[in-house]
Amino acid sequence: MKTMTDHKTYWERKEDIEEIMRFSESYKDFLNAARTERMAVSEIRRLAEAAGYRNFDEVDALKAGDRVYFVNREKSMILFDIGSDPEEGMSIIASHIDSPRLDLKANPLYEDEGVALLKTHYYGGVKKYQWTAIPLAIHGVMFRKDGTKVDIHIGDEPGDPIFTVTDLAPHLGKSQNKKTLAEGILGENLNILAGHRKGDEAVKEELLALIKEKYGVEEDDFVVSELEVVPAFSARDLGFDRSMIASYGQDDRVCAYSSLRALIDTAGRKRTCVAVFADKEEIGSVGNTSMSAKYFENAVGEVLAAMGNDSHLAIRRALANSYVLSADVTAALDPTYPEVMDKMNAARLGEGVCLMKYTGSRGKNGTSDANAEFLAKLRKKFADDDVIWQFGELGKVDEGGGGTVAYILAETGAEVVDLGTALFSMHAPYEVASKADIYSTYRAYTSFLTMD
């Protein structure tokens, strides 16, 4: 199901290949900087400011041509590129910047048999066995008793120590091997190895002294911290032909970065264009930094007010008249596991950004099923702009499924559809994307933002 383009994939034209490779290099830099939602916010803010976006808090009035951003608690962000009156409808791309990981518990550190360990509670849909025996880094914040914040980053810089979750040797795995994949490694056993005893002194006390010396924090300060454990692999080219990128966190930073670049690379579009970078998608879009929070609507209201429009209805009209891309990843057909896909309705790696009319599971439950009229409009625009795209569904009927932020934005009355990159090994510590699909995602988002 292809659009009317003069070629089937972006790999077929020399000028496209050069663009693909250039875009991939900057995307890898983004992935390596944006390891957590907080780090993604800081990197997005840096790139946005370099492109002329100003913090809304420092702006008095807004007019067409202005670029502003909102930061919500350092974990989510919204960028506005002001064009025509938002009340007439905006073009919104909503991605998320949180990824599956292990979070340290409030009281994490303990010593057992001379070994120091940190207890974790996994975040999002992880296959637990994938998180053992790989290098891990710790990123996040802690607060001292005087209220000062300490940024913690250990494991990603060259020369840094890393952490790991241990697993049994196969020699000792007889009982473990009889368990199911889901039960072989238990969530409560995802403990982070953090040190071992060297003599008479308890290793826990030794580590607490080290942490106090380096960061000025004490054991009970872990209670007021947010420390996230993520894979310490950097983003790398994959394959003899370097056609793919392997990295942690491509769900959903591939859509976040592509939409950010689509927004900041060009100016002077007709409609007001918006990029939302939401948090907490991986745990169901709950909490005040998620897409469900009223933060987004409030920001739209603030923008309208700064343009001299404080009518109560304006926010509702602005949202209801909007076009929205729910920018999230999907699964590509993996030839090793074809049985979970309907081959007629599956995305292939390398064949372009994937349009999903609906997501959900068990009979389209929990999805926003996009209107055919909106799809027709999009298809026309993509054909006009020579965007290569494909259609895909997340697996066979009743095989599984998943949700995105699409249904939340659809509640405003806006036209919404899911459009994102297809991955191999989604939610694994190392996820795989095709460079052509990443570039196609950027091209599609760029095209969407110039829709009338």
Q: Which is nearer to Mn ion, 85 or 251 (CB)?
A: 251
Q: Please, what sign has the CA dihedral across residues 82, 277, 258, 374?
A: negative
> How are strands ordered across the β-sheet holding 149-154?
149-154, 136-143, 225-231, 101-112, 115-123, 192-196, 164-165
Least Å distance, CB 230 to Mn ion, is 14
Least Å distance, CB 408 to Mn ion, is 13
User: Which residues bind to Mn ion, rule: CB under 5 A?
Assistant: 251-252, 328
Going by the DSSP 8-state scheme, the letter that residue 430 receives in this structure is S
Which single residue brings its beta carbon nearest to Mn ion? 252
- DSSP strands (E only) in 1-66: 54-55
Least Å distance, CB 251 to Mn ion, is 4
Q: Which is nearer to Mn ion, 81 or 328 (CB)?
A: 328
CA distance 78 to 409: 14
- The residues with which 150 forms a beta bridge, in sequence order, are 142
Q: Which is nearer to Mn ion, 203 or 408 (CB)?
A: 408
Q: Which is nearer to Mn ion, 207 or 423 (CB)?
A: 423
CA distance 91 to 284: 24
Q: Which is nearer to Mn ion, 94 or 142 (CB)?
A: 94
CA distance 335 to 241: 19
Least Å distance, CB 287 to Mn ion, is 16
CA distance 230 to 218: 23
Least Å distance, CB 94 to Mn ion, is 11
**Would you say 360 and 403 are in contact if contact means Cβ atoms under 8 Å apart?**
yes
Q: Which is nearer to Mn ion, 62 or 256 (CB)?
A: 256
Least Å distance, CB 9 to Mn ion, is 24
Sorted by sequence, the CB contacts under 8 Å of residue 137 that are 6+ apart come out as 35, 153, 154, 155, 156, 160, 162, 163, 229, 230, 231, 232
If we measure between CA atoms, which residue out of 310, 292, 317, 267 comes closest to residue 80? 267
Least Å distance, CB 24 to Mn ion, is 20
**Would you say 163 and 88 are in contact if contact means Cβ atoms under 8 Å apart?**
no
Going by the DSSP 8-state scheme, the letter that residue 347 receives in this structure is B
Q: Which is nearer to Mn ion, 111 or 328 (CB)?
A: 328
Least Å distance, CB 427 to Mn ion, is 6
Q: Which is nearer to Mn ion, 260 or 307 (CB)?
A: 260
